């Protein structure tokens, strides 16, 4: 280093101007350049950071970091070394010149080190300040996001005003935040019965009696629904006034869950108090070392009477050897579950079930702990089930109906003896065979086959078929049984011999056919009786009946309904038998009195027919066949759905046939006129569906 004063003063000036607001690396680089230039240094090194965690930020004249470390350990007259910061927390400085450093020059070096310390310290402070600002900004953003996106309601309120409410608070009460802030007070969100409580809590915090508060109340939502709320808040100063900042959560579901939990805990407590299982401990020899009090209910012994005695002492002699074997196997470390018969204090025999687990100390089994319970009733139940199974099997084989079980593929898994007897076979010979091969009902693969319906997830329905293999007619029912996992386990088939029933049905059908013919014959005879009195309307009843049946067929009515309509058509004018002949055949216009007499024929016909037990509403159809949809008909002035379907069909057929045939007072009209009349009266006088069906039939 040079010894002249002028360079020293220049150095002092230059070093005093080291930057204060640059990064640590920038400061180190500029300091190194100035020091090397001003001091004519051979080597320079600056390390920053606390001791033990320093990093080399600037070096000159060193080949590698190892040389730097070696240089720091050297102390020579031409070298300068200084720690920067208190106790060196900012780093270390090393400088080496080509000549020994004098006293004045060393002072300049120390000044340089002080200025460097000042710059590094300022840089650190500024860096920490910037970092703090970044953290603060980040925290502010995180806080804002937390508050705005929180699932918890956040609020700032006074006693009568809401200053801030986040989205969550709005959702809890069914409002938008804008509807709350500066528009409602906090008490507007409180159930009327809890407002005094909430007002008092707010007052205490606003007046400084309490800083923090946590309580719950019933809230009132926008739609009037009541919810349970819990709040936590504290008083703060905001813009010169005291307000309450807090959070609110909806605890309605929690309250419900707590209630359910309380009920569950109560049930569990009762269960624990009433449990009859016995806890026990035995050593490796089988000696009882602990047994819980419920044993007295089970066997009549107090715990003190059992402890210290071998458990095999109480085991039934026939089970004692197995009990000792259980003890030996338990010493191998397995968790075991077994059942034995034991003697009670009174000498009764009870069945117990034990579950034991080894007690291990170090690497040695020193005993067992477990639980035992009285399973006597279960054993009795199992015996009862076995008896019931045997009884069921006996009943299964004595039932007169044919019963068999098949798997999902239709293979027979079991048959009762009735089925085997009908097939002239033994039950075991039928097992494994396909049911379609055994019974030959012709249902296999069709939609009527129970197995097909099961595969297609369709409901099972009874069906009848001829079982050619049995030579009989059967009525079959089937029921599917599924495993706990929902897979088909088996299908139960129940077949009943209905051969005699079929014969009876066929005989009944023949009887019904004969009865129908009788009905038709009687009805046609009545119609001829009427028409003989009025030759002008000869064939009218038959024409009405035939047209009415054609209309009914077009409307999709059943065969039974069409038969009833035919009989009604034949007999619809039977009431005219009560009308004087001279009125029926009068060629001119009828008087009001004569028309009134004519209009009585529906009622007269009803009176004749109502005593006859027809299987159809013949009497009612006869009574209503002159009624009209708008109520303008006779004799009752019925409207719309008040008129039965059969009568609405007869009304249309009667009009068409009457208009297209000769009458004493006018000649027959063409069919076109009759159809015009129907179209004019469609919906007003006549049922639209009936009119449409008639038009399709006659055109």
Rounded alpha-carbon distances, angstroms, from residue 395 to 2, 380, 423, 668? 127, 22, 19, 77
Tokens 């926008």 belong to which residue?
Answer: 222
Is the confidence at residue 225, as pLDDT, over 60? yes
Rounded alpha-carbon distances, angstroms, from residue 106 to 60, 73, 79? 19, 19, 10
User: Helix 540-554 and helix 499-533: axis angle, to 10°?
Assistant: 140
Please, which residues bridge with residue 481 across strands? Answer: 490
Question: How many Cα atoms sit within 13 Å of 266 on the Cβ side?
Answer: 6
Would you tell me how many other CB atoms lie within 10 Å of the CB of residue 198?
A: 21
CATH topology of domain 5-128: Beta-Lactamase (3.30.450)
515-698 has the same fold as 275-380: no
Tokens 């069709």 belong to which residue?
Answer: 446
The architecture CATH gives domain 150-255: 2-Layer Sandwich (3.30)
The DSSP element (H or E) to which 341 belongs, if any, is strand 336-343
CATH topology of domain 515-698: Hypothetical protein af1432 (1.10.3210)
Q: What is the mean pLDDT of the chain?
A: 83
3-state secondary structure of 352: strand
Non-local (6+) Cβ contacts of 475 within 8 A are 462, 463, 464, 495, 496, 498, 501
Percentage of the chain modeled with pLDDT above 90: 25
Non-local (6+) Cβ contacts of 357 within 8 A are 335, 368, 369, 370
When pLDDT is cut at 50, 70 and 90, the band that residue 465 belongs to is: confident
When pLDDT is cut at 50, 70 and 90, the band that residue 535 belongs to is: low
- Give the start-to-end residue ranges of the domains of the chain: 5-128, 150-255, 275-380, 399-497, 515-698
Q: How far apart are the first and last CA of the chain?
A: 133
Residue-wise pLDDT tens digits, 607-657? 888 888 888 999 999 999 999 999 999 999 999 999 999 999 999 999 998
3-state secondary structure of 632: coil
Looking at per-residue pLDDT, the higher value among 518 and 76 belongs to 76
Tokens 């006869």 belong to which residue?
Answer: 622
What 656-663 contacts at long range (C-beta under 8 Å, 24+ apart), as own/partner pairs, is 656/547, 656/694, 656/698, 657/540, 657/543, 657/544, 657/547, 658/540, 661/537, 661/539, 661/540, 661/543, 662/536, 663/536, 663/537
Is the confidence at residue 568, as pLDDT, over 50? yes
Looking at per-residue pLDDT, the higher value among 544 and 534 belongs to 544
Per CATH, the number for 275-380 is 3.30.450.20
Is the confidence at residue 161, as pLDDT, over 50? yes
Least confident of 184-198, 254-268, 272-286, 647-661: 272-286
CATH for 399-497, options being 3.30.565.10, 1.10.10.10, 3.30.450.20, 2.60.40.1930: 3.30.450.20
Q: Examine residue 625 and say whether the peptide bond preceding it is cis (omega within 30 degrees of 0).
A: no
The pLDDT of residue 442 is 66
The pLDDT of residue 243 is 93
Select, from the ranges 58-62, 382-386, 488-492, 533-537, the one with the highest average predicted confidence (pLDDT): 58-62
Q: CA-to-CA distance for 119 and 21, rounded, in angstroms? A: 8
Which pTM value belongs to this model? 0.34
Contact 156, 245 (CB under 8 A): yes
Mean pLDDT over residues 512-531, rounded? 60
- φ, ψ of residue 86 to 5 degrees: the values are -65, 125
- φ, ψ of residue 217 to 5 degrees: the values are -155, 170
Cα 685 off chain centre by: 54
The pLDDT of residue 1 is 47
Is the confidence at residue 272, as pLDDT, over 60? no
């Amino acid at each position: 280093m040079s010894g002249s004063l002028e360079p020293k003063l220049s150095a002092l000036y230059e070093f005093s101007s080291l930057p204060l607001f640059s990064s640590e690396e920038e400061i180190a680089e500029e300091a190194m350049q100035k020091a090397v230039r001003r001091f004519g240094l051979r080597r320079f090194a600056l390390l920053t950071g606390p001791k033990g965690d320093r990093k080399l930020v600037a070096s000159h004249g060193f080949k590698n970091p190892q040389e730097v470390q070696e240089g720091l350990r050297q102390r020579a007259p031409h070298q300068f070394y200084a720690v920067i910061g208190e106790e060196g927390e900012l780093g270390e400085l090393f400088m080496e010149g080509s000549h020994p450093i004098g006293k004045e020059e060393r002072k300049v070096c120390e000044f340089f080190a002080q200025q460097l310390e000042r710059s590094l310290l300022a840089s650190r402070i500024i860096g920490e300040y910037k970092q703090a600002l970044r953290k603060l900004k980040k925290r502010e953003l995180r806080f804002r996001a937390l508050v705005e996106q929180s699932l918890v309601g956040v609020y700032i309120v006074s006693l009568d005003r809401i200053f801030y409410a986040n989205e969550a608070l709005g959702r809890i009460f069914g409002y938008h935040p804008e509807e709350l802030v500066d528009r409602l007070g906090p008490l507007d969100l409180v159930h009327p019965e809890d407002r005094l409580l909430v007002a008092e809590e707010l007052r205490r915090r606003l007046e400084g009696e309490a800083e923090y508060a946590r309580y719950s109340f019933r809230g009132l939502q926008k739609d009037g629904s009541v919810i349970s709320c819990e709040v936590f808040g504290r008083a703060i100063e905001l813009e010169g006034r005291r307000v309450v900042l807090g959070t609110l959560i909806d605890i309605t579901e929690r309250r419900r869950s707590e209630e359910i939990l309380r009920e569950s805990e109560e049930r569990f407590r009762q269960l624990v108090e009433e449990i009859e299982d016995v806890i026990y401990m035995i050593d490796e020899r089988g000696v009882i070392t602990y047994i819980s009090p419920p044993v007295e209910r089970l066997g009549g012994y107090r715990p003190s009477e059992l402890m210290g005695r071998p458990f095999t002492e109480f085991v039934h002699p026939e089970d004692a050897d197995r009990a000792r074997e259980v003890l030996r196997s338990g010493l191998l470390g397995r968790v075991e579950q077994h059942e034995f018969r034991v003697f009670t204090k009174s000498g009764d025999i009870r069945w117990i079930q034990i579950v034991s687990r080894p007690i291990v100390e170090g690497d040695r089994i020193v005993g067992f702990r477990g639980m035992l319970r009285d399973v006597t009733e279960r054993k009795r139940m199992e015996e009862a089930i076995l008896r019931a199974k045997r009884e069921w099997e006996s009943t299964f084989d004595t039932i007169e109906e044919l019963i068999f079980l098949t798997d999902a593929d239709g293979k027979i898994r079991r048959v009762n003896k009735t089925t085997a007897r009908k097939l002239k076979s033994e039950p075991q010979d039928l097992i494994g065979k396909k049911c379609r091969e055994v019974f030959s009902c012709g249902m296999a693969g069709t939609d009527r086959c129970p197995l097909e319906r099961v595969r297609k997830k369709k409901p099972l329905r009874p069906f009848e078929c001829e079982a050619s293999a049995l030579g009989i007619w059967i009525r079959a029912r089937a029921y599917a049984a599924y495993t706990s996992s929902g897979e088909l386990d088996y299908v139960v088939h129940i077949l009943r011999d209905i051969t005699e029933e079929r014969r009876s049905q066929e005989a009944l059908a023949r009887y019904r056919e004969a009865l129908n013919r009788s009905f038709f014959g009687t009805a046609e005879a009545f119609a001829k009786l009427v028409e003989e009195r009025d030759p002008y309307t000869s064939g009218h009843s038959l024409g009405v009946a035939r047209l009415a049946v054609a209309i009914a067929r077009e409307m999709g009515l059943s065969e039974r309904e069409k038969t009833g309509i035919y009989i009604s058509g034949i007999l619809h004018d039977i009431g005219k038998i009560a009308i004087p002949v001279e009125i029926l055949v009068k060629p001119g216009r009828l008087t009001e009195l004569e028309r009134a007499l004519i209009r009585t024929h529906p009622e007269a016909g009803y009176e004749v027919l109502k005593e006859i037990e027809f299987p159809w509403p013949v009497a009612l159809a006869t009574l209503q066949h002159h009624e009209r949809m708008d109520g303008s008909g006779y004799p009752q002035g019925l409207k719309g759905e008040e008129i039965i379907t059969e009568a609405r069909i007869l009304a249309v057929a009667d009009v068409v046939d009457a208009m297209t045939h000769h009458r004493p007072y006018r000649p027959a009209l063409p069919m076109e006129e009759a159809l015009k009349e129907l179209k004019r009266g469609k919906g007003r006088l006549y049922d639209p569906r009936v009119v449409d069906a008639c038009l399709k039939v006659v055109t």
